Amino acid sequence: MHARIISLLIVLVVTPAAAAPRILIELPDNLPSDAVWIRYLLSGPGSRAAVAKREPNLRHYDIDAMIGGTPAQHAKIVVYAPGCQFKAYNIDLDGTSDISEHFECNSLPTKTVHGFLPPAQIPSSIFPAEKTLAISGELEPDWVCDFFLQQRRGAAVIMAGSCLGAGIPLGRVGDLDPANGGAFEITIPDFTGDPLFKGTDEIPRGGNFGVIELVIQDKRIGRVLGAIKPENAGPESGLNVQNEYPEPVKFTTVR
């Protein structure tokens, strides 16, 4: 008897999984995408917070609206770009559909602050021929943590949880020439001109808006030579965002 070989072909039909819902932050055409800072908090069954990775040549940023393998139910997003006011988004999600938000760059003015650092505390440049040093800044936006931690119960706003800060690079904000005897100027965004500085109905604010941390760098290669903070700054390590500053602001090196 000849063995009969029977081949059985089983065809499995696999239904493609539905795409995970996204939040799209659409950018103006004239705004370089790698200059945009985006921080977000997703909540629902648990929570997930992150800062979006900066990338060039994008017209929108995509945020995966998932926590583990489960769609998020709510999102809080903060967007900032140089020269622009902050934008804060408070979004309810349906777990299935993409959500699009357009970031509109409303102009933010700058403010010049006069500073003084005792000459004995001015670090030396790595390159003797280059005496002038660069001053760079980073904003620690305290209000963003407040926004993320705010929860509403009825008409009341309560604070709950903890939040790790994520600084916003401001780039080079001034120069320090030892020949000027310790006097210098920095030009920083005037965050007091942002409506969020005073708070809004949706985003009430009670604490500090933020602190600008300042470092002195070698002008040629950008190596950090030290950090400075205002005298009597207490536990703060930088310049508090405020309406007015002394003339000049007296700084000291951070030990």
CA–CA gap between residue 142 and residue 164 (Å, rounded)? 10
Sign of CA dihedral 53, 56, 58, 60: positive
pTM of the model: 0.85
Residue 87 structure tokens = 């934008």
Q: What is the pLDDT of residue 207?
A: 74
Write down the domain spans for the chain. Answer: 22-102, 110-253
pLDDT recorded at residue 153: 44
Q: pLDDT digit string (tens) for 48-100?
A: 999 999 999 999 999 999 999 899 999 999 999 999 999 999 999 998 889 99
159-208: pLDDT as tens digits:
444 566 689 999 999 999 999 999 999 999 999 999 999 887 777 776 78
Distances in whole angstroms, Cα of residue 221 to Cα of each of 127, 137, 171, 178, 217 = 10, 16, 14, 18, 8
pLDDT by residue (tens digit) across 197-240?
988 777 777 678 999 999 999 998 999 999 999 998 876 689 99
Residue 231 neighbours by CB distance under 10 Å: 11
How far apart are alpha carbons 162 and 159 in whole angstroms?
A: 9
Tell me the fold of 22-102. Immunoglobulin-like (2.60.40)
DSSP state of 35: G
Residue in 165, 139, 136, 140 with CA at minimum distance from that of residue 228: 136
